Amino acid sequence: MNLILLGPPGAGKGTQAKLLAERRGIPQISTGDMLRAAVKAGTPLGREAQAIMERGELVPDEIVIGLFHDRSSQADAAGGFILDGFPRTVTQAEALRKILSERGRRIDRVVSIDVAEDELVGRIVGRRTCRSCQAMYHVKASPPKVAGRCDRCGGELHQRADDNEDTVRERLRVYRSQTEPLIAYYDREGVVRRVPGTGPIEPIFAAIRAAIEA
């Protein structure tokens, strides 16, 4: 099954994609995580992406399309994948369609996670991420047992460079103008299901699972 989790920054795409990946045994493909890994490794791509991401703008389409193409060609994605943060523009959605159709595949379901803007800002500013395993926490909603340390692997928790209020506002603006139109784009194919993304994580996960089956 090939799934897309769509939603604004902070909607819970990463949180829910990790749970789904575990449950379904297919990988989460997050272009944001891949770009952050490139920034950390200091590759030419990472150097190009870093300033763009810190401004809250979108990295050029051809770069993220290439990242998706390479990652989705790996053996563990042969049985499907969960896309988190890709596609983000109509150009990316068209490229995704072409790549999948060449493989005789299609997008089976798009789950759009809805959360009000004020809540998104609070979530993002309070988010902490593990440097080692990328597990996510929130200082209030889901704090780690030991401050600053990952429950799962003991790694150091840090705040993403783009998780400050000014950048979040820009990311939200970019989402509304460039990515939200993808809901209508996929709605034409009848594959979109909208799920409210507010409240505890587990019931949202259950609603997403139900939306995938529906």
50 binds, among Mg ion, ligand AP5, none (CB under 5 to 8 A by kind): none
Are 133 and 153 in contact, with CB atoms under 8 Å apart? yes
**Count of other CB atoms within 10 angstroms of residue 192:** 19
Return the number of the residue (13 or 109) whose C-beta is nearest Mg ion: 13
Segment near ligand AP5 (CB under 6 A), from 72-80, 102-110, 122-130, 185-193? 122-130
64 binds, among Mg ion, ligand AP5, none (CB under 5 to 8 A by kind): ligand AP5
For the segment 70-109, give every residue that binds ligand AP5 (CB under 6 A). 85-86, 88, 92
Residue 79 backbone dihedrals phi, psi, to 5 degrees: -95, 10
87 makes contact with Mg ion (CB under 5 A): no
What does the DSSP 8-state code read for residue 101?
Answer: H
User: Is 88 one of the catalytic residues?
Assistant: yes
CA-CA distance, 100 to 196, in Å (whole number)? 28
CA-CA distance, 199 to 75, in Å (whole number)? 36
Site string for Mg ion, 7-46 (x = CB under 5 A): -------x--------------------------------
3-class DSSP state for residue 136?
strand
Catalytic center residues = 13, 88, 127, 160, 171
